[in-house]
Amino acid sequence: MPHDTSAYLALVPYAAVVLGLIVTLVLFFSVKVEIERATKRERKRVDEIIERLQSASSAPPPAVPDPVFVPVAVPAGLNINRRTHALRLLRKGQDIAHISAALGVPRQEIELLVRVQGLVANSQGKVATRSLV
């Protein structure tokens, strides 16, 4: 009987190899099946996305309302009160930058007021001298 046991023990490595090959084949085919399922799932998802894109591109674009333009009231540059206040500050010897900051008016408007006031003063002075002659 010892002789028969050794014959079976000699077959154990072969049986282990066959069992390993069977397990490997089962795992290989299960992986292939899983890959096929995932491919079908992704293909279905991609087809749905393509279908949505085609339906979105064929649909007319949503109506965009025309923009509403609200007119903005233009602030008055120098009203009479500001102009007289600016002229008073000029007579007191204030700087143009200080006057424009105090009244909240751009510097160019104060400079224009100074020029216009100078022209008016020159034209009145010439008229006064002409009437005296």
**What are the domain boundaries of the chain?**
1-59, 80-132
pLDDT tens track of the chain, all 133 residues? Answer: 456 777 788 889 999 999 999 999 999 999 999 999 999 999 999 999 999 988 887 877 677 778 887 777 666 555 777 888 888 888 888 888 888 888 888 888 888 888 888 888 888 766 444 444 4
Q: Mean pLDDT in the chain?
A: 83
* CATH code for the domain defined by 80-132: 1.10.10
User: pTM of this prediction?
Assistant: 0.38
Kindly report, residue by residue over 59-70, the tens digit of the pLDDT: 776 777 788 877
C-alpha closest to that of 121 among 90, 85, 80: 90
Q: Which amino acid is at 14?
A: Y
Burial readout 91-109 (b: 16 or more C-beta within 10 A, e: otherwise): eeeeebeebbeebebeeeb
